[in-house]
């Protein structure tokens, strides 16, 4: 494999997408149940009143039951909305009404609050392709979350949600990549 981190990332992302694609429905169901419990524990231990999270797709670890729990507990949830300029807008959304946004990702419909709305949350839950044991996160290649996290003056704890085998010894990284404070997997909450 080439020593170029961008080439290494592309190859690793393809492998991870395939691993996720071949997971059984039962494996996904068990993972969802455990992820929900761990995310609830994390939110409770941090005493969150507001979070920034994302709408998981069919191949991502399913965080939607956790989002339903958070909404039922009165926790304010901001969802990202992709912009053409590479930044993220944020909206509260209703958790039900979704559209396909840029790059085919699901995004909520709601009043756009602007990129700085994320500065008021207590916890940020981000998607990832993989995370290494130092907290280096490898996303899916668009850079939206790296730019967002890099622009925050005071960043709350950031946790990536991944499957167990996606927590690895190392991931290829570049200067713009950002570390996370921890990961939530079906088997554990790991803080770095």
Q: For 53-110, what is each residue's pLDDT tens digit?
A: 988 888 899 999 999 999 999 999 999 888 888 788 899 966 566 777 666 667 778 8
Least confident of 27-31, 35-39, 136-140, 178-182: 136-140
Spatial separation of the C-alpha atoms in residues 57 and 100, rounded to whole Å: 11
Is the distance from CB of 156 to CB of 121 less than 8 angstroms?
Answer: yes
In the chain, the domains with their CATH numbers are 5-191 (3.40.50.10420)
pLDDT of residue 3 exceeding 80, the answer is no
Helix axis angle for 64-72 and 25-45, nearest 10°, is 40
The mean predicted confidence, pLDDT, of the chain is 88
Range with top average pLDDT, 81-95, 106-120, 140-154: 106-120
Q: Which pLDDT does position 136 carry in this prediction?
A: 92
Q: Which pLDDT does position 99 carry in this prediction?
A: 72
Q: Which pLDDT does position 165 carry in this prediction?
A: 94
For the question of whether the overall pTM of this predicted structure is more than 0.85, the answer is yes
Beta carbons within 10 angstroms of residue 190's beta carbon? 18
Q: Which pLDDT does position 178 carry in this prediction?
A: 86
Confidence of residue 139 (pLDDT cuts 50, 70, 90): confident
Spatial separation of the C-alpha atoms in residues 118 and 81, rounded to whole Å: 12
Query: Could you tell me how many residues make up the chain?
Result: 192
pLDDT of residue 131 exceeding 80, the answer is yes
In terms of C-beta density within 10 A (0-12 exposed, 13-18 middle, 19 or more buried), how is residue 157 classed?
Answer: middle
Spatial separation of the C-alpha atoms in residues 54 and 39, rounded to whole Å: 13
Work out the percent of the chain whose per-residue pLDDT is above 70: 92
Q: Which residue has the higher pLDDT, 142 or 115?
A: 115
pLDDT of residue 188 exceeding 80, the answer is yes
Separation in Å, CA 127 to CA 2, 3, 28, 73, 187? 26, 25, 16, 22, 17
Average pLDDT (168-179) is 86
């Amino acid at each position: 494999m080439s020593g170029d981190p961008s080439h290494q990332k592309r190859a690793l992302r393809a492998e991870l997408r395939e691993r996720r694609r071949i997971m059984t429905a039962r494996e996904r169901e068990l993972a969802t149940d455990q992820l929900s419990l761990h995310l609830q524990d994390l939110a409770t231990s941090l005493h969150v009143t507001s979070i920034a999270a994302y709408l998981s797709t069919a191949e991502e670890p399913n965080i939607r039951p956790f989002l339903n729990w958070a909404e039922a507990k009165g926790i304010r949830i901001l969802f990202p909305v992709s912009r053409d300029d590479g930044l993220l807008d944020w909206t509260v959304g209703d958790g039900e009404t979704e559209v396909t946004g840029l790059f085919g990702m699901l995004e909520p419909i709601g009043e756009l609050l602007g990129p700085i709305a994320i500065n008021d949350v207590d916890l940020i839950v981000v998607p990832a392709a993989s995370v290494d044991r130092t907290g280096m996160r490898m996303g899916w290649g668009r850079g939206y979350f790296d730019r967002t996290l890099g622009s925050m003056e005071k960043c709350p704890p950031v946790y990536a949600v991944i499957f167990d085998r996606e927590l690895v010894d190392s991931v290829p990284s570049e200067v713009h990549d950002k570390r996370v404070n921890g990961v939530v997997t079906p088997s554990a909450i790991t803080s770095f």
